[in-house]
Amino acid sequence: MKVVDELDLRGKRVFVRVDFNVPLEDDGRGGLRITDDARIRASLPTIRLAAERGAKVVVAAHLGRPKGKPDPKQSLAPTATRLAELLGRPVALAPDCVGPDAETAVARMSPGDVLLLENLRFHAEEEKNDPAFAESLARLADVWVNDAFGAAHRAHASTAGMAPLVAERASGLLMRDEVKHLGRLLAGADRPFVAILGGSKVSDKIGVVEQLLSRVDALLVGGAMAYTFLVAKGVAVGGSRVESDKVDLARETLAAARARGVRVLLPVDHVAARKPEAGSETRICGPGIEDGWLGVDIGPATREAYAKEIATARTVLWNGPMGIFEIPAFAEGTLSVARALAGAKQATTVVGGGDSVAAIGVAGVADRIGHVSTGGGASLEFLEGRTLPGIAALEG
């Protein structure tokens, strides 16, 4: 896999696919405001490098789910403005990502210019990976640079289809870092290697659990998925969220872990609530949960046990919150894991998953984590050991 900084980019049209799928909210004045620009910041090094090396930088991205036709509410106009502010140089927005408008805009560029193409998903052909659409995109490019790790698990026209149709291909700097840090977890991670998995569903994370069982020393489980594991061990969980059709799978996973000598830690106490709502009555209980209560966070003894494991690890992967952390009264378990990672100075720490990354932000420790992945679904699929189309397209 070539990296963008290995290529001679001078005067070339460098098409940079990025993941700028940022959250937007109404600004109260009829417009839209970006509430979190982390994804834009993450690709700045690649865009800046290409511009500084004299490329004509054609940036392409998708936003939201516009159903294959233009929708002003999902325009990249606010993104173009923010990108220009962050880069400290002008960024023009082409009114379309293909066709005469895009081609004219690209033809007018000078070396060092940055142009953002309008939302790729204004065309249904993007997600269908339509060959003619990929051809139209490729007409704008001498070099295809993929920096969109967050979209790398999708075989779309801009993330994979156009790759063989351009003269040169390279990964962006963000893509390189993601592959390096996440790849390290699948081969050559320093031991002890501790993985903390949580979040809402066993079914979302089981592929990662299976892949990690052959690599980790300990697996710490929290979040809703912990209750399915506790049921598999015969522990009462009251009204907690359980995937009844995954209890057998959880039991098999525990047996597989035992066979491999992997220690699996499950919550020994809980924050239980009457309802999964702010303001609900709560209590600390354990090891089980009585009827009439449901688990909404890991309890203090569990937090301490997990923090101890993290403190002695050399590699830590965290994916999935320990509770319903969106509600402050149920967030302490998740925040304590975030702080434990931040404090683990001897360890390589990696956080993946949209909600876990958000929790890192809430805890205010993002700058003390080794690698915060920008890919939610993509990082999970990568950690399952699957080949991601957007990465495979770089290797071809």
> Which residues are near ligand ADP by CB under 6 A?
199-200, 204, 223-224, 241, 276, 295-296, 319-321, 323-324, 326, 353-356, 376
- Judged by CB under 5 A, does residue 377 bind Mg ion? no
Q: Based on the residue annotation, tell me whether 108 is a catalytic residue of this protein.
A: no
The residue at minimum Cβ distance from ligand ADP is 199
If the CB atoms of residues 320 and 389 are measured against ligand ADP, the closer one turns out to be: 320
Q: Give residue for tokens 């805890």.
A: 363
Residue 122 to residues 21, 60, 66, 195, 379, Cα–Cα distance (Å): 14, 12, 6, 39, 26
If the CB atoms of residues 200 and 280 are measured against ligand ADP, the closer one turns out to be: 200
Instruction: Identify whether 328 is preceded by a cis peptide bond (ω within 30 of 0).
Output: no
Q: Based on the residue annotation, tell me whether 246 is a catalytic residue of this protein.
A: no
Annotated active-site residue in 354, 361, 368, 370: 354
The residue at minimum Cβ distance from Mg ion is 355
If the CB atoms of residues 81 and 200 are measured against ligand ADP, the closer one turns out to be: 200
- Considering only 19, 118, 177, 355, the residue that binds Mg ion (CB under 5 A) is 355
Within positions 75 to 134, which residues make up the interface with Mg ion, using CB under 5 A?
A: none
CB neighbour burial string for 66-103, b if at least 16 within 10 angstroms, e if fewer: beeeeeeebbbebbbebbbebbeeebebbebbbeeebe
Locate the DSSP E strands across the chain.
Answer: 13-17, 24-26, 32-34, 56-60, 91-94, 114-117, 143-146, 168-171, 193-197, 218-221, 263-265, 270-273, 282-285, 294-298, 315-319, 348-352, 371-372
Alpha-carbon distance of 121 to 93, in angstroms, equals 15
Task: Say which entry of Mg ion, ligand ADP, none residue 202 contacts (CB below 5 to 8 A, set by partner kind).
Answer: none
Annotated active-site residue in 41, 139, 184, 201: 201
Binding mask 311-350 for Mg ion (x = CB under 5 A): ----------------------------------------
Q: Based on the residue annotation, tell me whether 205 is a catalytic residue of this protein.
A: no
As annotated, the active-site residues are 39, 201, 354, 377
